[in-house]
Amino acid sequence: MFNLIPFLINGLTLGLLFALIALGFMLIVGVMEQINLAHGSLFALGAYVAYALLGPPLPLPAGVGEWWAELPLGLRYVLALVVAPCIVGLLGILIEQGMRRTYGKDPLFGLLLTFGAAMVIEDVIRSIWGTRDYILPTPDAISGGFIALNLIWSTYRFFAAFAAFVFILLTWLLIERTRFGAVIKAGAHDSEMVRALGYDLAKLRIAVFAIGTMLAAAAGVIMAPIWGIRPHMGVDAVIPAFLIIVLGGVGSFWGAVIAGLMVGMVIGLTAAYASEWSLLSMYILLIVVVTFRARGLFGKKSILEA
Amino acid sequence: MTDRITRRGLVKGGTMLAGAAAGFGTFYGPWKHNRAYAQEGKPIKIGLTCDASGMYGASGRDELRGITMCIDEFNANGGVLGRKIEWITADTETNPATASRVAERFITREDCSILIGAIHSGVANAITQVAEKYGTIYLNSNSSAPTEAGENCSRIKFVWDGNGTNFTMSSVKAAVERVGKKWLLLTNDYVWGHETSDATRKLVEEAGGEIIDELLIPQNTRDFTSYLLKIQQISPEVVAPAVGGDDGKILRAQVAELGLDKQAAWVQSQQDWPDVWSAPDSIVGIFGTNWYHKLKLPGVDDFVKRWQARADADAIPVPGNVSYCGYTAMRETLRAIERAGSTNNIAIIKELEQLKIPAADRMQDYDAWMNPDTHHLQQTIYLARRNPNPVDDTDLYEIISASKPEDVIDPEEGKLCKLAPYEQIPTVDG
């Protein structure tokens, strides 16, 4: 019998990472009721932009690229964590401009549009960075391993889990503790009333979509040193993100966080005790939950269920 | 009313019976489709079933470079039998179902008379089944599951890479004797992983070692922390991973990050060059390969220069084992067509079954030959580790041994492979 504690700790960190991956997806689905299938590609783009900032010197005007490369890696990493989401957020605004024509129409239009955007983004990635893999360099302070419980653990993984916790907290504060959050939630609930009160709903939607895509990119930057960077890495993110949203209940912030933690815990524990079931376990968890509670753990009750 | 059998009734009944027999015969087989594409001056068409995405996407694209380089070289010299060679490719997505559809389309709609390419053994097996139905020659250039020339062998298929057992045989005995007897297997949960780990298990036990655990790793695993924690708790002396493609790259990176290769020895079956190149800092333990661009052998430097001259911007700076296998598989088959003087599939198969390649031509240390009973090319197997004294950025391997083909023959292959007689193979004339 193995010592269970390391696997519980691992499950918790993995769960936080999964929650981070699902966070941007949750925000757009929950607040705008739009499924953003480009989430995975935006996640990948975030990782690639970070690589551009942290990898080999950029082809910038004389001296600028060298100046950037000479900055300490730690500083560049922090800047990448800010700059990459901002650049991807601008792209998010562009996608939202296209999506607004689909609001109030068949949800299939939005799905198709974001699916198309995902394919375009992935092809742009291939044409700029090629098809090979990259490893995102990380500062020494958060690289390598440390010993605890007589085992070697990855320092970066704990940093990533902590960063995930911070992003979750900031997103919660934004939605639950700010006037902006109150207005976007109200807009999702009754858009006409929000308009009548003088708020520009179009601008609010742009802001939500941009924040959602920025969160996707931030997750990409944080996960890149663990997963590696390759053009199709978005697929690895969008599938668990979708699953977590359904499991937690569409529109529920804490549902997504708790579902992420549950998925991480289930994968972590099954990998230890029945390794061949580790990836399958999250789908089994989804089936079990949805069988008994079709709207997910914290999803709102549908009028059809009344 | 009499039951007399009249002549008219007999003819009618006989005709109906003959018709029914023909109909049922057609339905139940034998399914022998004879195809003839060959026309003077018409190009020979080859279908390149390479993965361009998915778990083995990077390797598939490198394989494509080697194959197309070979075709270009032949075309520059007038083609084969005075006919140009055309090729077509489609992404098989490292997915057997997609590969099956691609193979079917290449044969039935594109009139391809030869198929080549696959890294993933499930993909290779799917293509084999389709090719077998039509009698189309299939060159498994890079998939190294022992089953490919074992129970899944086929008269129409030729396997060009070393298999998991070949690579394992080159390393296991020495590792059990010199490193340790307590082994742990990390197995990618699909055909190649299982077959390679089974071969390792057998060889370890024969050498007096013990398998203390086996962890199955689902395909597309991205986080190996649970496995690495478990390995640390079990404390094996040797870890033998059979984990390929993207999964293998990520595993190695996570092992290297934690320095776990210093706690136990990591003995790996085969590392494909595109996987190693993408994460050179994460080379751990010892591993097998069948070719390296810095082998001091005739023809290697020239091959590397020719490959570099036509490489696209996205290519790795130097060719590796995957591109090499694609190139040589295509080259030997086109040469076999020249020798046979025909594009008839049976004639080509018979030529390939007698194939012998001198070491200098093969760019390996020892002569290679095609086993006519399994259609598996027997070749030099190298053992390598990270190069402590590289001469340039691409010099990542230190070759530590070169095993003769006869020393690493898979003993099970010949027992399991049953090739169909030539008469049962549908004829194809490309």
Q: The domain that contains B267 carries what CATH number? A: 3.40.50.2300
Contact at CB, A278 and B215, closer than 8 angstroms:
no
**Which position has the higher pLDDT, B358 or B192?**
B358
Neighboring chain B residues of A267 at a CB cutoff of 8 Å: 223, 226
Q: Are residues B288 and B302 in the same domain?
A: no
What pLDDT, on a 0 to 100 scale, did the predictor assign at position B24? 45
Domain that holds residue B228: 166-295+381-407
Q: List, for residues A254-280, the tens digit of each pLDDT value.
A: 999 999 999 999 999 998 888 889 889
Q: List, for residues B52-69, the tens digit of each pLDDT value.
A: 888 888 899 999 999 999
What pLDDT, on a 0 to 100 scale, did the predictor assign at position B39? 62
What pLDDT, on a 0 to 100 scale, did the predictor assign at position B1? 40
Q: List, for residues B180-190, the tens digit of each pLDDT value.
A: 999 999 999 98
pLDDT band with cut points at 50, 70 and 90 for residue B29: very low
As a whole number of angstroms, the distance between CA B349 and CA B340 comes to 9
As a whole number of angstroms, the distance between CA B274 and CA B316 comes to 7
Neighboring chain A residues of B254 at a CB cutoff of 8 Å: 154, 226
Q: List, for residues A131-186, the tens digit of each pLDDT value.
A: 778 889 999 999 999 999 889 999 999 999 999 999 999 999 998 899 988 888 88
Q: List, for residues B363-372, the tens digit of each pLDDT value.
A: 999 999 999 9
Nearest CA in chain A to B235: A151
For residue A27, what are its two tokens? 């925000």
| Best mutation target, B258, B260, B277, B394, to test chain A (most A CBs within 10 A) | B258
Of chain A residues 240-269, which have a CB less than 8 A from chain B? Answer: 267-269
- Tell me how many domains chain A contains: 1
What pLDDT, on a 0 to 100 scale, did the predictor assign at position B12? 56
What pLDDT, on a 0 to 100 scale, did the predictor assign at position B22? 47
Nearest CA-CA distance, residue B279 and chain A, Å: 7
The pTM score is 0.79
B1 touches chain A (CB under 8 A): no
Domain that holds residue A205: 5-305
What pLDDT, on a 0 to 100 scale, did the predictor assign at position B275? 87
Q: Would you say A188 and A175 are in contact if contact means Cβ atoms under 8 Å apart?
A: no
B227 touches chain A (CB under 8 A): yes
Q: Is pLDDT of A188 > 60?
A: yes
Which one of B54, B220, B254 has the shortest CB-CB distance to A279?
A: B220
What pLDDT, on a 0 to 100 scale, did the predictor assign at position A80? 95
As a whole number of angstroms, the distance between CA B269 and CA B165 comes to 8
What pLDDT, on a 0 to 100 scale, did the predictor assign at position B8? 56
B281 is a domain residue: yes
Contact at CB, B246 and A275, closer than 8 angstroms:
no
Three-state secondary structure readout of chain B? CCCCCCHHHHHHHHHHHHHHHHHHHHHHCCCCCCEECCCCCCCEEEEECCCCCCCCHHHHHHHHHHHHHHHHHHHHCCCECCECEEEEECCCCCCHHHHHHHHHHHHHCCCCCEEECCCCHHHHHHHHHHHHHHCCEEEECCCCCHHHHCCCCCCCEEECCCCHHHHHHHHHHHHHHHCCCEEEEEEECCHHHHHHHHHHHHHHHHCCCEEEEEEEECCCCCCCHHHHHHHHHHCCCEEEEECCHHHHHHHHHHHHHHCHHHCCEEEEEECCHHHHHHCHHHCCCEEEECCCCCCCCCCHHHHHHHHHHHCCCCCCCCCCHHHHHHHHHHHHHHHHHHHHCCCEHHHHHHHHHCCEECHHHHCCCCCEEEECCCCEEECCEEEEEECCCCCCCCCCEEEEEEECHHHCCCCCHHHHCCCCCHHHCCCEEC
* CA angle B307–B311–B281, rounded 5-degree value: 90
Instruction: Give me the mean pLDDT over the B39-52 stretch.
Output: 88
Helix axes A155-176 and A201-227, enclosed angle (nearest 10): 170
A133 touches chain B (CB under 8 A): yes
B61 touches chain A (CB under 8 A): yes
pLDDT band with cut points at 50, 70 and 90 for residue B9: low
Q: Are residues B387 and B350 in the same domain?
A: no
Output the CA–CA distances (angstroms, integers) from residue B403 to B296, B360, B368, in the order listed.
16, 16, 12
Instruction: Give me the mean pLDDT over the A108-120 stretch.
Output: 93
- The answer to which of A90-99, B14-23, B268-277, B330-339 has the lowest mean pLDDT is B14-23
Task: State the DSSP H helix or E strand holding residue A205, giving kind and residue range, or none if neither.
Answer: helix A201-227
Q: List, for residues A209-248, the tens digit of each pLDDT value.
A: 999 999 999 999 999 999 989 888 998 899 999 999 999 9
Nearest to A219 by CA among A37, A81, A119, A14: A81
Give the bridge partners for B215, in sequence order: B186
What pLDDT, on a 0 to 100 scale, did the predictor assign at position B19? 53
Q: Would you say B122 and B96 are in contact if contact means Cβ atoms under 8 Å apart?
A: yes
What pLDDT, on a 0 to 100 scale, did the predictor assign at position B16? 54
Nearest CA in chain B to A281: B218
Q: Are residues B26 and B158 in the same domain?
A: yes
Output the CA–CA distances (angstroms, integers) from residue B86 to B57, B80, B337, B343, in the order listed.
23, 11, 15, 14
Q: Would you say B340 and B347 are in contact if contact means Cβ atoms under 8 Å apart?
A: yes
Q: Is pLDDT of A202 > 90?
A: no
Q: Are residues B189 and B98 in the same domain?
A: no
B8 is a domain residue: no
- Tell me how many domains chain B contains: 2
For residue B284, what are its two tokens? 């751990």
B6 is a domain residue: no
B7 is a domain residue: no
Question: Would you call A230 helix, strand, or coil by DSSP?
Answer: coil
B22 is a domain residue: yes
Q: Are residues B402 and B262 in the same domain?
A: yes
Contact at CB, B225 and A157, closer than 8 angstroms:
yes
Q: Are residues B75 and B119 in the same domain?
A: yes
Q: Is pLDDT of B207 > 50?
A: yes
CATH at residue A62: 1.10.3470
Q: Are residues B214 and B128 in the same domain?
A: no
